[in-house]
Amino acid sequence: MTTSARPRAIALWLYVVAALVFAMVVVGGITRLTESGLSMVRWEPISGVVPPLNDAEWHAEFEAYKAYPEYQKVNRGMSLSEFKAIFFWEYLHRVLGRFIGLAFALPLAWFWARRAIPEGYKPRLLALLALGGLQGAIGWWMVASGLIDRPDVAHDRLAVHLGTALFILGGLVWTARDLMALQRREGRSRLKGFAVLALSVLAIQIVLGAFVAGLNAGHAFAEWPLMGGHFFPEGVQWLEPLWRNVVDNPVVVQWVHRWWAWLAAALLVLLSVRTSRESGGSAPRLVLLLLTAQIILGIATLLTGVALHVAVAHQAVAALLVWAAVSCAHGLGRPGYRMH
């Protein structure tokens, strides 16, 4: 490490960016649940930062919205004030995304110019920057799917958008923890096999959750643990080929999301226990706390008929759980520690 390197400062900056990404995930959840995501029908990365500023501009924006399927098939007859309400969340989501881009790119350029980035970290930081840019393109790719025929974004694209956001969050946290270890003169952590398994199962659960949201599958059965009075509901209309049901069938997707959760929970508990035993720290306890909250919120989301505040909390805790689980995996992979 060169004398000009500032690993701790860079790590703290990355934690701030990770917190902003968490906020972005929460706002994205609100945008989805309030059905606001299709209110802005153009992708204008630069000029789109400025919202409508007068009545004429608002009416022009509203008229543009009226030309697309969501207004024509779902919201026909809505008032301008109602349009402003849904426009707000999508606008906030997009502006926050641009702000995160600047919050990453500008300090990165400053640290780079000051030769403060430790050796070996420039490629990783550039990769995170590139992923952030890609995420903006994925966001528009997702929105565009709801501007053609069906007035709703494609659930698979929604899953890619959410998954990429949480992958970026995990990458920021892992890199920040590596830099903190460097500050302490410790080596980098490595992903161990069990941690890969636990994080992969958690990732699948999050993708299933995105499918549930995108298909509005949470409304299929507002009861728990049974569905229609049965462990597996009767009268399911199966899709062909069979694998499509886990992706496209709302009833099956909800069922798989319910029960895959227990596999994810079991592996996260084991990850927490092993990390606590091997390297300690607060992350293992946080995983257990967040996991308990997430199970309760998942059940409450169903029982309340996907109430907005409950469903948003469910998505928020999922993001925090990713943060804590990545921290556990990092602790488990620290040099000098071994798994039993």
User: What is the number of residues in the chain?
Assistant: 340
Task: Name residues whose C-beta falls within 8 Å of residue 200's C-beta, 6 or more positions apart in sequence.
Answer: none
Give the per-residue pLDDT at 42: 87
Give the CA distances from residue 287 to residues 322, 328, 330, in Å, rounded to whole numbers and listed in that order: 9, 8, 13
- Three-state SS string over 153-168 comes to CCHHHHHHHHHHHHHH
d(CA 167, CA 178): 16
**pLDDT recorded at residue 339:** 39
Say whether 257 counts as a known binding-site residue.
yes
- What is the maximum alpha-carbon separation in the chain? 68
Q: What is the pLDDT of residue 338?
A: 45
pLDDT recorded at residue 152: 87
Residue 152, helix vs strand vs coil? coil
pLDDT value of residue 114: 94
Q: What pLDDT does residue 19 have? A: 98
- Tens of pLDDT along the chain (340 residues) come to 556 779 999 999 999 999 999 999 999 999 999 999 888 988 888 877 899 999 999 999 999 999 998 999 988 999 999 999 999 999 999 999 999 999 999 999 999 999 999 999 999 999 999 999 999 999 999 999 988 888 889 999 999 999 999 999 999 999 999 999 999 888 888 999 999 999 999 999 999 999 999 999 999 899 999 999 999 999 899 999 999 999 999 999 999 999 999 999 999 999 999 999 888 789 999 999 999 999 999 999 999 999 999 999 999 999 999 999 999 999 998 876 543 3
340 marked ligand binding residue? no
Asked if residues 322 and 177 have their Cβ atoms less than 8 Å apart, the reply is no
**The pair of three-digit structure tokens given for residue 260, joined into one six-digit string:** 């895959």
Cα 181 → chain centroid = 26
